[in-house]
Homo-oligomer: A and B are copies of this chain.
C-alpha cells in the first residue's frame, strides 16, 4: 500500500560494497575506527561533519551529564522487564528508552525549541530580554509550561548546569544560547511568580545549540545517554537482581479501591 509520496528511498548516511563501508564520505575501517571517538562518530553520523574539539567536548559533557540519575522510573521499568525477560536485553533497554517522554527527559528538546525561537527573534533585531519575555508569555498564554526549569530534588540550580556552562566556555563554542537560557531564568519570577532555576534539561540545549547540534535531534541526546546508563543497570541486574524486589516494594502499601466479589477473603 502506498502511503504518502512513495518514492525511491534515499539516504546520505551510509552505503557499502563488498570491500568498503562508506560513512558520511569516510571509509569506516580505514578512516574512522581508531581515529575518531564514538561521540565524534555520533556527531558525524548526525550532521555529516566531524566535530571540532570544542564541539566534541560539549557533546561529551551533555551525554555524561544526563546518562545516569539512579533508580529513576525508566531504570525501574527496564530492570523489571529484564527480570521477567532475561533473554532479551534489547527488550529491557527498549522498555527503559520508552520512558524518555515529554514529561521526564523530553524537555531538553522542548527547551531547545524555545531557545531557538527566542534566538530567531534576536537574529531579526529584537532585544534579548524582550524576545525572551514575548516567547515565554506566548507559551504561557497557550497553557504550556516552560521547559528546562525547576527540579523535584534540586531546588537550587542543579550543579550540572554550571558544569555544562563551564565546559562550553572552555570549549570556545557559541555561548548565545546560554545567554538566552539565563534570560528566561531571570524573567520566570516575574512571569510565573516562582524562581525556578535552570535544570539540566535546559542547560543541555543551551550548550548544544551553540555547538552546532541540530535542534530537531536534541531528543536523541538523553536517549543515547540513558541507553548507556540502562546497560549498566542491566549488567548490575544480572549480578544483583532487584527487578522483582522493586516491583514488590512498589505495591507494599497499594490500596485496592475497587469492588470486591462476594466471599473474597472468606477462606480460612
Q: Which residues of A contact B (CB under 8 A)?
A: 1-34, 36-39, 41-42, 45-46, 48, 57, 59-61, 63-65, 67-74, 76-78, 80-81, 83-95, 97-106, 152-156, 158-160, 162-164, 166-167, 170, 214, 216-217, 219-220, 223-225, 227-229, 231-236, 238-265, 267
Contact = CB atoms under 8 A, between A and B. Distances in A.
Given A12-B236, A160-B29, A21 B217 contact: no
A15 B214 contact: no
B85 A90 contact: yes
Contacts of A225: 38
Contacts of A34: 57, 61, 64, 163-164, 166-167, 170
Contacts of A216: 235, 238-239
Nearest to A9: B242
This chain's copy number in the assembly: 4
A261 B214 CA distance: 24
Given A11-B242, A33-B160, A219-B90, A22 B101 contact: no
Contact of A250 (B15, B247, B258): B247
A119 to B, nearest CB: 19
A32 B77 contact: no
A216 B3 CA distance: 27
Given A11-B71, A27-B264, A67-B41, A102 B89 contact: no
A216 to B, nearest CB: 5
A194 to B, nearest CB: 16
